[in-house]
Amino acid sequence: MKFNISSKAFSSRLLDMGRVIVSKNSVAILECFVFDVKDGKLTIMASDNENTLVSSLDLNEHDGEIRFAVNAKTVQESMKEIPDQPLEIFVNETTFEVTVDYQNGQYKFMGQSAEEYPVPPALEGETTTFRIDSEQLISGIGRALFATADDTLRPVMNGVFFDIKENKLAMVASDGHKLACGEVENVGASEDGSFILPKKPASLVKALFGNEKAEVGVEFNMRNAVFTTENSKLICRLIEGHYPNYKSVIPNNNPNEATVNRAGILSALRRMLIFSNVNSSLVKLNFEPSRITISTQDIDFSMSATESLMCDYSGTPMSIGFKGTYLMDLLNNMEGDEIVIRLADATRAGIIVPTKQTDGASVLMLLMPMMLND
C-alpha cells in the first residue's frame, strides 16, 4: 500500500516524537516508531515503556490501511534531509519493506511488524480530569522545570507538582533552595486532586503541545496521567509519593518591597557574577530608598564588584545575600518589564513576583537567602 504526506510536517512531527525514545533500550522494538495508516490519517507512536507519545497527521492520500514499525533513527535522520515537498511512501504489506519516493531520489529500508510493541496502560480506578489552555500549561511547566531537584533520596522533589483545589491549578517545583509556583484559575476540574509529573514527560508536554493553540485535556489517577489534544496524546508514569506542603514555606508577610526593572537587574547580575566566588556565587543586595546596590567579592583572587540600580523601595533599609546563579534563574523564568522583590529580613526567604499578573493566572518565585560574611 502507499500514502502521501508533506515532508516538512512529517519531519517536524518525527523530531518531536523522537524525544521520548532512549538511545540504549533493553527492548529492541522500543527503538522504533509505530506508524498506523487509517481513515486518512497517519498516527505515530513512540514509547520508552514509561512514557508514550501518540500523534496524528493528515495524509494527502492513501490507498489502504497498515500498521508497522520502523527504526526511529533511520527515518528521523533521512526525513530531515529532504526539502519541503510531497512524499510518496510505499509499504510492502508482507515484508514491511518501506520505499520513500521524493522529487530527486528514493530511500529504501526495512520495517517490521508492530504486534510486539507495548500497549500504553489504560487509566484504571478513580480518575480526576481537568482542561487547560495549552499556552497556560506550557508556560506553567516551563517556569517550574528549572526549579526541580535532582535528589535520589527524595524523588518527589524531582518533578513538577500539579495541585488542584477549588477549580484552581497550581504548578509547583522546588529543590529546597528555590521555588516556582504558577497558578491558573477556572480549569474545569472534576474534583480536587494532585500528581507529580517527572521532568521527562514535562519536557515532552512542552515539545508536543508547544505549537498547538488549543485546550489540553488532562486525566490522571495515582500512577499515570494522560494529556490529550485533538491530534496528540501523552501517556506517562507519575512519581508516586506525597509532595511537601509548599504553601507552608511561602511567607505571608514580607513588608519590605522593591520594584525594579527585570532586564536591568539581570544585566547587573551577569556582570557581578564574573567577580563572585565560583563555588558560592554569593551576591549581596543592599536596599535603600530609591536604590538597590548589588555587590560581590572573591577573597581568594582579590576581586570585587559593586553596581547600583534605581528602584522604588518601601521598607526598612536592609542587606540580604542570595546565590547569584539562582536569582538569575528565577528572573530569566519570569515575564514582564518590572518585578517586585518582597523581603522580611536577611534570614528569611525572599519573594519575587511580576508587577503585572496575567488575567486568570499568577506567578510567584521564592529564593532562600545565604549568610553574609559581614
Sheet with 193-198: strands ordered across: 193-198, 159-165, 168-174, 178-185, 361-367, 350-354, 338-343, 256-261, 312-314
Reported as a single tens digit per residue, the pLDDT across 304-349 is 999 999 999 999 999 999 999 999 999 999 988 999 999 999 999 9
CATH number of 2-113: 3.10.150.10
Which pLDDT score, from 0 to 100, does residue 374 have?
A: 64
C-alpha grid cell for residue 149? 531537584
Residue extents of the structural domains in the chain: 2-113, 128-246, 250-367
DSSP 8-state secondary structure symbol assigned to residue 262: H
Helices (H), the chain: 7-17, 72-79, 134-145, 199-209, 262-273, 324-332
- Residue (of 292, 346, 296) closest to 314 by Cα position: 292
Q: What is the largest CA-CA distance in the chain?
A: 79
| Helix 7-17 with 72-79: angle, nearest 10 deg | 140
CATH architecture for residues 250-367: Roll (3.10)
Question: In this structure, are residues 7 and 84 in contact, taking their beta carbons and an 8 Å threshold?
Answer: yes
- pLDDT of res. 257: 95
pLDDT in tens, 275-287: 999 999 999 999 9
Q: Which of 287, 356, 294, 290 shows the shortest CA–CA distance to 316?
A: 287
Bridge-based pairing of strands 224-228 and 215-220 is antiparallel
Q: Class of 128-246 per CATH?
A: alpha beta
195: number of Cβ within 10 Å: 23
DSSP letter at 79 equals H
Phi and psi based region of residue 26 (left: phi greater than 0; alpha: psi -120 to 50; beta: remaining): alpha
Do the first three CATH levels of 128-246 and 250-367 match, i.e. the same topology? yes
Cα of first residue to Cα of last residue in the chain, in angstroms, is: 76
- Gap between the Cα atoms of 249 and 220, Å rounded: 27
User: What pLDDT, on the 0 to 100 scale, is given for residue 210?
Assistant: 73
68: its cell numbers: 508497522
Spans of the chain below 70 pLDDT = 374
